[in-house]
Structure 1
Amino acid sequence: MLFNRSKDRLFFKIMVDATTNIAEAVQLFRENVETLEEKEAYAERLKELEDKGDDYTHQLIRELNQTFVTPLDHEDILKLAYTLDDVIDGVEACAARFVYMQVDKTNSCLIKFGEILEKSARHLHDAFIALEKRDYELIRKISIEINLLENEGDRLMREGIMELFADPVDVVHLIKMKEIYEKLEDVTDAFEDVMDIMESVVMKYA
């Protein structure tokens, strides 16, 4: 299938723009967890980017409803739209938790999660650029990289929770951080979910 019609380019542009938005959100998240000193300001900015992500999702759905012939199957585009939305929703939700759970101090686990998410976001952006170019081999390589980062996130979550329970001086703090670690690992899962859909697309068109 040729991806050269103006409508085709529009679908890919919206998805690439959505990943650019995710990359910006994740960069802000990583900056936030370096100190958590301005967590309220970061949470507000991330909410704006999450709203922007919703707009991209709505744009894709609107274009799907108005277009009979699309560059990818309708169902695949819809799945990609929703899973991209899951990623930025998860990032925003974690930033919000720092505020309403009153988490004032960062730690090495949060900083490492920020680095994992930032790498994942860069790879995701590259994958959607590769999709329009039909560079399926690059998509497969990126999928492997994001899978490795998801595994790293899973390991980091387990180690972080283990450390919390090793010396549970403050039970309330333990409950807060356990939930945040688990939510952050969910975000790494969401990145992997997007790539699982991408790989299924590659199998159809490669």
Structure 2
Amino acid sequence: MFKKKQDKFSLLLTDIAKNIDNTADYFVTYKVKDESTLSEFSNKLKEYETKGDQLVHTIIKELNHAFITPIEREDILQLTNSLDDVLDGMEEFSGMMDTYGIYSSDSYIDQFSGEIRSCAKEIMTTIELLSLNKLKDIQAHAIKIKEHEQNCDTIFRKSLKQLFQNEKDPIKVIQYKELYYILEEIADSCQSVANNLETIIMKNA
């Protein structure tokens, strides 16, 4: 497992988690008001996603050259990919908002975003614990991630119900349905991170 002195894999995973945490913070706090701010929002999320891709590429390269890894290669790779999916989802959401020209969120998008922000905080904590080999402490945070994902399931159902019942513009129905679906997928990706962490705990605790 990871030693007390952090190895390159734990450091890289921590960098990815920090990038997700920073992205989620920006994702929630930045306020889109018009075409200019929407473009800035989308471009910034793309920068975060590009940084994440570079970190993933570095981990894969290190895995290919490492003789011994602190945990199984497959587990490192699956965890890395699930972390990357979270970041990709946020970038996809911003890109879709830009494509559709949507300049403001609604209460459901705000609720989704809050849950995703909470997931990112928990992910940051779990990766830090993993790097310190505190496996037994990870479980409680993995459970919290899953609870936030379940909250997103509820928000998703409510958001679609109100959309189909109240929105008369078919174009907006299509647009917002897509946005809600992407947010639900981000939450699912967070749950995949939790699942991968639980696999690592099971194999190494």
The alignment's TM-score, normalised by the length of structure 1, stands at 0.94
1:30 to 28, 31, 43: 28
The C-alpha deviation readout for 1:69-94, integer Å capped at 9, x for no partner, is 01010111111111111110001000
Deviation at residue 2 of structure 1 after TM alignment? 5.6
The C-alpha deviation readout for 1:35-67, integer Å capped at 9, x for no partner, is 444221011011011000000100100110111
Structure 2 unaligned regions, length at least 5: none
Query: Which whole-Å CA distance do the structure 2 matches of 1:200 and 1:106 have between them?
Result: 36
- Tell me, yes or no, if the aligned pair for 2:23 and 2:87 is still in contact at 8 Å: yes
| Partner residue in 2 for 1:76 | 75
The C-alpha deviation readout for 1:139-186, integer Å capped at 9, x for no partner, is 100111000000001110110110101123111001100011011000
Structure 1 unaligned regions, length at least 5: none
Aligned-residue identity in percent: 29
- Tell me, yes or no, if the aligned pair for 2:2 and 2:131 is still in contact at 8 Å: no
| Partner residue in 1 for 2:46 | 47
Spell out the pairing of 1:120-131 with structure 2 (5 A cutoff): 120-131=119-130
Query: Which whole-Å CA distance do the structure 2 matches of 1:106 and 1:132 have between them?
Result: 36
Deviation at residue 134 of structure 1 after TM alignment? 1.9
Deviation at residue 104 of structure 1 after TM alignment? 2.1
| Partner residue in 2 for 1:187 | 186
Q: Does 1:85 align with 2:81?
A: no
Query: Which whole-Å CA distance do the structure 1 matches of 2:100 and 2:79 have between them?
Result: 31
Query: Which whole-Å CA distance do the structure 2 matches of 1:137 and 1:178 have between them?
Result: 39
- Tell me, yes or no, if the aligned pair for 2:2 and 2:10 is still in contact at 8 Å: no
- Tell me, yes or no, if the aligned pair for 2:4 and 2:132 is still in contact at 8 Å: no
Query: What amino acid does structure 1 have at the position aligned with 2:48?
Result: L
Deviation at residue 114 of structure 1 after TM alignment? 1.2
| Partner residue in 2 for 1:150 | 149
Query: Which whole-Å CA distance do the structure 2 matches of 1:179 and 1:129 have between them?
Result: 33
Return structure 1 stretches of 4+ with deviation > 3 angstroms: 34-37
The count of aligned residue pairs is: 203
Query: Which whole-Å CA distance do the structure 2 matches of 1:114 and 1:160 have between them?
Result: 13
- Tell me, yes or no, if the aligned pair for 1:36 and 1:106 is still in contact at 8 Å: no
| Partner residue in 1 for 2:112 | 113
| Partner residue in 2 for 1:3 | 3
Query: Which whole-Å CA distance do the structure 1 matches of 2:102 and 2:2 have between them?
Result: 50
Query: Which whole-Å CA distance do the structure 1 matches of 2:33 and 2:175 have between them?
Result: 15
Alpha-carbon spacing, 1:73–1:172, altered in 2? closer, same or farther (3 Å)? same
